[in-house]
Amino acid sequence: MSNLVYILNGPNLNLLGRREPEIYGADTLEDVAGRCTEVAKTEGLTVEQRQSNHEGQLIDWIHDARDKAAGIIINPGAYTHTSIAILDALSAFGGPVIELHISQVHRRERFRHHSYVSRRADVVIAGCGVHGYELAVLHMAKLLQG
Ligand code: DHK
């Protein structure tokens, strides 16, 4: 089985560290990616980390994962709350899916309480800040070990 895990980030997450730091923290996506690579290594995993502001691009990467990746960790950003298309793409993926939010979305505006992606996600992590990414990699390793 492949030991490759996709970590996909949706819209506005390229601004991590500069965007609303009181909510999303001061670390950049690059900082997070570096730590995920390290954690993955200790777990015998390889991570492919991508970010896009475009729904279709995220969907294409999820399709791509069907042949290449053992699991997907995804922070779909605001598409969490709007995208049936991302839900459908994830439903066509066979491996474990971890949905991740940096913030505790249920303590925020009402429109952030509903997630289409959660209907498919095996695990949801929210409110751990960017540490959630490392937790997600660790937990993905556990899921893949069966
Ligand atoms: C990130 C976003 O960009 C928001 O649109 C979501 C999520 C929450 C996060 O907490 O990582 O509502």
CA atoms of 63 and 105, how far apart (whole Å)? 27
Q: In terms of pTM, does the model score above 0.85?
A: yes
- pLDDT digits 0-9 by tens, 87-133: 999 999 999 999 999 999 999 999 999 999 999 999 999 999 999 99
pLDDT digits (tens, 9 = 90+) for 10-48: 999 999 999 999 999 999 999 999 999 999 999 999 999
Q: How confident is the model at residue 1 (pLDDT cuts 50, 70, 90)?
A: low
Closest CA to 55 of 80, 21, 86, 23: 86
pLDDT of 38: 98
pLDDT of 54 higher than 60: yes
Quick one: pLDDT at residue 2? 85
SS3 of 97-143 = EEEEECCCHHHCCHHHCCCCHHHCCCEEEECCCCHHHHHHHHHHHHH
From ligand 1's centre to the CA of 1, what distance in Å?
A: 31
Structure tokens at 31: 């900082």
- Average pLDDT (64-70) is 98
Please confirm, yes or no, whether 133 is among the known catalytic residues.
no
Annotated binding site for substrate: 75, 81, 88, 102-103, 112
The predicted pLDDT at position 80 comes to 98
Q: Does domain 4-134 have CATH number 3.30.450.40?
A: no
pLDDT at 146: 85
> Mean pLDDT over all residues of the chain?
97
From 13, 74, 98, 124, the mutation candidate for ligand 1 (largest count of ligand atoms within 8 A of CB) is 13
Distance from Cα 79 to the centre of ligand 1, integer Å: 9
pLDDT for position 97: 98
